[in-house]
Amino acid sequence: MEKFLSILGIMLITALFAGLIFFGCTPQGREIWNQYQYSMHKTDEITYEQRKTVEDSCRAMISSWNFDILTYQQYKDADTAEKRSWSEQAKMRANRTAATYNEYILKNSYVWAGNIPADIYAAIDYIED
């Protein structure tokens, strides 16, 4: 049994050494290694770009929602009907943005896998007034 293990160890060391020489010193081995590295790099880029796109979209919707909330709060008790109309329109936009955002977060929650960035909300509330 000891002889078998020593032969197996020698074979593994030889295979490792041969692999290092093949991938490190031959054009064919370097080509295979470079293709592998390229495909891994492309996968990382695609993952990063997808995450960046989702985060940018979320931040844009949050910004729009915040603006509409502020507009609503500013004009909801205004003296003129026109300004109260602006408030109602801002409320509708804010609620529509909240619905879109909450659906978008649900569809793209896999991007963060439970690790949402601090400046992105898990959900946006509706204006109930």
Q: What is the pLDDT of residue 50?
A: 84
Q: How many residues does the chain have?
A: 129
Q: CB–CB of 45/103 below 8 Å?
A: no
**Residue 88 vs residue 25, higher pLDDT:** 88
- Sorted by where each begins, the domain ranges of the chain are 59-129
Residue 118 — very low, low, confident or very high, per pLDDT cuts 50/70/90?
A: confident
Q: What is the pLDDT of residue 95?
A: 97
Farthest CA pair distance, the chain? 97
Q: Torsion over CA of 67, 70, 72 and 77, rounded to 10 degrees?
A: -160
What mean pLDDT comes out for the span 112-117?
76
Confidence (pTM): 0.67
In a 13 Å sphere around the CA of 58, the CA atoms on its Cβ side amount to 25
Q: What is the pLDDT of residue 85?
A: 95
Residue 93 — very low, low, confident or very high, per pLDDT cuts 50/70/90?
A: very high
